[in-house]
Structure 1
């Protein structure tokens, strides 16, 4: 499945506002999150290494994005980001990633539609009530009355955040950036 990738040079890049600086080394709090595969995931209790990429929201075919969506720094690109993680799933596993998840504030029904449409081999997690975002003080933005997660990627090992990628831009390079780091974790 191909995805139309926008011309990233025409979309404003997010700035590093420092909103994720506190996350490195932080213990992940026990927050159960519903997943699109019907399970409930507590990131604090996962054995091994997990990669969690957070994104604002995935659009649905036939449903308009909020007005001005493409001009909000960091908003556009959730589908290309998810597809990049899908396409690099085997590579991530080969480099020791035991668990891969997408995370947004969307409800599980919207996420399930996206996971099925995009043929994702991993579940998406819903933080619709904002419990994980609040507990970790994740960076958020408000658009059309919706509180959405800003795009970031966490590498979690043994219940602690080992590495934070923030801001993430362009989104379709996120999986490659994680792969590069996994190949050379001192960078």
Structure 2
């Protein structure tokens, strides 16, 4: 059985704000070099201007089953609709002076498949060694032996985090929420 990754189940559990991201506003983006789906390396600390960094657990693939119980983990399901929302609003975000990166703990090869399949006009960053967890204390969770990031979105201006969306729910509305905040 395949799962339609573009649709969210109607009974998706809502994540609660556990305070794990409360410390991030006003924090400098650290010098963390991450592999990018365009085969470059991006140092987050070097980014200037306005950046939206949406952090998600993992992108599902149509040919790979999701971990057992995935839909029951609050905040886990919805990476594809979240990415598609940023894709669909990308030009609006750029008109407001913001650029976008998606970020997960998956490898760039895995992410490249999602970027291409979903026709994302921006790149995805791989943090397979969880450097942001160490540098910023970004929250994670563990499932099926994998440590993954909890879903959150950061807006950084000239290297400083100005806004944090956490928890992000529903994930398919995250880009709309970011747009509203930027306006």
- Residue matched to 1:22: 23
Q: Does 1:88 align with 2:89?
A: yes
CA distance in 2, matches of 1:159, 1:6: 33
In the other structure, the counterpart of 2:123 is 123
Alpha-carbon distance between aligned partners in 2 of 1:79 and 1:112, rounded to the nearest angstrom: 13
Whole-angstrom distance in 2 between the partners of 1:14 and 1:119: 28
**Aligned residue in 2 for 1:140:** 140
Structure 1: give runs of 5+ residues left out of the alignment. none
- RMSD in angstroms over aligned alpha carbons? 1.2
Mapping 1:7-86, distance limit 5 Å:
7-8=9-10, 10-86=11-87
TM-score scaled by structure 2?
A: 0.95
Deviation of 1:3 (Å): 6.6
Alpha-carbon distance in 2 for matches of 1:71, 1:47: 38
Q: Give the TM-score, by structure 1 length.
A: 0.93
Q: Is the 8 A contact 2:6 2:80 kept in 1?
A: no
CA distances 1:4-47 after superposition (whole Å, capped 9, x unpaired): 32244x01010000000000000111010011011111111112
Write out the 4+ residue segments of structure 1 that deviate beyond 4 Å after TM superposition.
Answer: none
Q: Secondary structure at the match of 1:106?
A: coil
Does the 8 A contact of 1:154 with 1:161 survive in 2?
A: yes
Contact 2:154/2:163 (CA < 8 Å) preserved in 1?
A: yes
